[in-house]
Each structure stands twice: as C-alpha cells, then as structure tokens.
Structure 1
C-alpha cells in the first residue's frame, strides 16, 4: 500500500477513497509490513484507519513527508483545537484568576494568570478584555475544556503573550496557515521582500500583520487572501506589478 499511497501524492482524493492495509496496527500508526521489517505510515488530518483499510474522510490533496507521514491538505476554515498548537486568541472575559479566550473553536479556552513568564500572585500580567494573545494549547480534547499557556516547557515566553498594537487581524484557511508556517515558505519570503512586516500566524486560521503604514498593511492582507488560489507564476506577476506601483 505504501507505494500506492506515494503514487497518489499531489492528487485530489475524496471522502470514501480507500487503501487496503496489510497487517494490523494500533491507533493512527498503521503497520504495512511484517513486524520484522517495521515500515509504518502515520496518518495526519483527513486520513483514518477503518478495519483493514485506510480511509479518506476529507476531500483535498494528498501530501507526504518523509519517511512515511501522509495527510490531506484541504481548504478548511473550521478549527479543531489540538494539543501543542500555537494559536491567536482574543480575551473575552475574566473570571477570578482565569481568562476566557476565543480561539475560533467550538468552545472558548481558559488561561490562568500564572501561565505567563514571571507571573506570580503579586506580579500579575496586564491582560485586558479584547487583547490579542499568542498562546499554546496545553490541553485540548473533546472531553475537557481547552487550556492555554503563554510559556514554553522551560517557562519562557518565547514570543507568546499579549501583542497586536497597530496591526490587522483577519481569518484565512488552515491550508494557507500551513503554507506560511512551512520551513522556507516561498509565499512568506516573497511578501516580506515586497513590504518588510511583522507577521503572527496562528494554527487556528488567524493571521496578524503589521507593516510600516496602514496602506501597506491592508495591501499585505489582501495579497494573503488573494494569493491562496494563485499559481506561483501568477503570484510573482502580481507582486511585481505592486512593487512597480511605488507603494
């Protein structure tokens, strides 16, 4: 099945498409050969195991990452919270020592005032309702309320916390988010060469940008929304025209 999967990379798959499995495995990691020759495929978003088959449950392009990770890249806008992902949230309320944060999922997430670098009972962070937060999901599953933190495993902020003064926040598809977060993203590099800017990308489909002027910030936002459905050649042609416009 592995060679058949690899031959489909880049192809459009539809819900219900199946790939027959060989031996049985556990969870989302499916053994394709005998245990003496471990060769497993890891299922990402859009793929799941059903009995003796690997089933596609989301329409989109099949993508592959070495050695054997596969997933479906789709133009999905609904965000499903996942542990470990970094997201952009909006503080909606404060209840006691806990902030409620809208992360674009089906329910709001909670954030303790102690989940900031250097925060103590006496030294509380300055967080107000309406503030933008760049945070990481510490807890995220269907049976519990999502929980956010603004520190990494070493207790450092590492870029997380309150941000957003003077920039523009808007929503994009999750597919565009993955393209922007990819190592050596061509789209991100081309936009930063056009207009130097600050950019914060949340895995929940929220994007914040800020350039040297309001006009440039709005142009970047429109470009990000427009370039999603363009080919590389079309995108470069459009960016060249804008660069020649002298904004």
Structure 2
C-alpha cells in the first residue's frame, strides 16, 4: 500500500544511486524529508523517489522530460524556455545532438521543445538539454513541429508515461498519432487528421483525475461514439 506523506515528514529511501524527484529534499547532514503532501512513489528498482500529488504547479527536477516554449534568446549562446515552473529555464544552443558552433538549431520565439532537465536547484534557474544523457543522441528530444499542446495535471502526465497505462496505446490502435508527454503538465499530440487530434485531446481530458477519471473500457466506448 502506498505511503501518504506530509511536509516535513522523514522518508526512509535508500539506494546506492539514489535520485530525488519532486517533493523530496535531502537536508545537509540530516534526514531525507518530504516538502509537500502526497503519495510517496518510487521507480521499479527503487533508485528514484518522489512525492506524487494532483497538482498543476510544476517544480523542475533533474532528469525529467518536459515540454517547453521558447520565450527569448540568450544572445547567440542559447534560449530562454518557459517550462511552467517558477522560473524560465536556460537551454544552451549546443545542447542538441550534433550541434556545433557552425551548426546550431535556429529556434524562434514560440517554438515548442521536448527537452530534459539537466540541472535543477532551488537557488538557480533550471537548465535543459535536448539529448539523452547516456547516448548523447536526440532520442525524441528536440523541436516539436506542428501538433497541439494540452495542459494536464502532473499526476495525469506521470500516468501517461507509465508503459502500462492504457491511453496512448489505445489511441494508437485507433488512428496514427505522435505524442510527447512532459512531466511539467503538458502533452503534445500530432496527427494528419484534425479530428484525430481533437479525439486524443478529449480523451486525455477525460482520464484526468480532475476530470471524469475514465478507465480504458469507458474511453474505448467514448471513442466509438466519435466520427474518427
């Protein structure tokens, strides 16, 4: 049974390569505590721990995938990106697969990005990268062209990133669909047919715990009522 934690509670999380996600803080020389109320979660090998709550306020955490919007440039060195957190994030112009000083991405204000948080600290602005930390390949990160972005609760986004969650495979069985899920409460969907994009968005709204919280059977029945 999942543990419910409150702000300031001590958390017994141990692993040789322990990584802390949102809602957890390691005090200098002290215990590991929760910083918000919610459900204590961890990944399959118990190396990454976080507190899950049904919130729309995103607090950046290292290694998390996010969907951002370019809101400005840092001269010729990089970009300022809105990821829905307390502060805009910085993205170096060389933080892309194969990028060099002569070959940099030409992003404009308003461009959508699928990126990874490479650095996050409470006293610093977060930093982003558009490649996988281990392979140094894009692995799906980079500019998102076309499509539509929907805002969801953070809990919904975490559920959609679970390989066992039903929604995205179910939608993919109904019509061709590209999707990217950011842990900052944003989901990007793209399809050749506008009606397919609309159907996907409506389904995501209905599985959101803040909405109707539909299960797989109910979503499948709802899709059968649509002209897709």
Q: TM-score range by the shorter chain?
A: 0.7 to 0.9
Aligned to 1:228: 208
The reply to whether residue 237 of structure 1 matches residue 205 of structure 2 is: no
Aligned to 1:29: 13
- Asked which structure has the greater RCO (Cα within 8 Å, sep 6+), the reply is 2
User: Root-mean-square deviation (CA), in Å?
Assistant: 3.2
Could you list the runs of 5+ residues in structure 1 that have no partner in the other structure? 1-8, 22-27, 32-40
Whether contact under 8 Å (2:21, 2:61) holds in the other structure is no
Could you list the runs of 5+ residues in structure 2 that have no partner in the other structure? none
d(CA) in 1 for partners of 2:96 and 2:31? 45
Whether contact under 8 Å (2:56, 2:185) holds in the other structure is yes
Whether contact under 8 Å (1:164, 1:208) holds in the other structure is no
Q: Judging changes above 3 Å, is the alpha-carbon distance between structure 1 residues 231 and 213 closer, same or farther for their aligned structure 2 residues?
A: closer
Q: Judging changes above 3 Å, is the alpha-carbon distance between structure 1 residues 125 and 57 closer, same or farther for their aligned structure 2 residues?
A: closer
1:113-124 correspondence to structure 2 within 5 Å? 113-124=93-104
Aligned to 2:112: 132
Q: Judging changes above 3 Å, is the alpha-carbon distance between structure 1 residues 16 and 225 closer, same or farther for their aligned structure 2 residues?
A: same
d(CA) in 1 for partners of 2:100 and 2:34? 47
Aligned to 2:143: 162
Count of residue pairs the alignment pairs up? 220
Q: CA deviation at 1:105?
A: 0.7
The reply to whether residue 173 of structure 1 matches residue 164 of structure 2 is: no
d(CA) in 1 for partners of 2:88 and 2:57? 14
Whether contact under 8 Å (2:67, 2:186) holds in the other structure is yes
Instruction: Give the secondary structure class of the aligned counterpart of 1:29.
Output: coil
Q: Which has the larger radius of gyration?
A: 1
Q: CA deviation at 1:156?
A: 1.8
Aligned to 2:54: 75
Q: Judging changes above 3 Å, is the alpha-carbon distance between structure 1 residues 224 and 68 closer, same or farther for their aligned structure 2 residues?
A: same
Instruction: Give the secondary structure class of the aligned counterpart of 1:215.
Output: helix
Q: CA deviation at 1:68?
A: 5.6
Q: Judging changes above 3 Å, is the alpha-carbon distance between structure 1 residues 111 and 14 closer, same or farther for their aligned structure 2 residues?
A: closer
The normalised TM-score by structure 1 is 0.74
Q: CA deviation at 1:164?
A: 2.8
d(CA) in 1 for partners of 2:9 and 2:87? 32
The reply to whether residue 15 of structure 1 matches residue 6 of structure 2 is: yes
Q: Judging changes above 3 Å, is the alpha-carbon distance between structure 1 residues 46 and 81 closer, same or farther for their aligned structure 2 residues?
A: closer
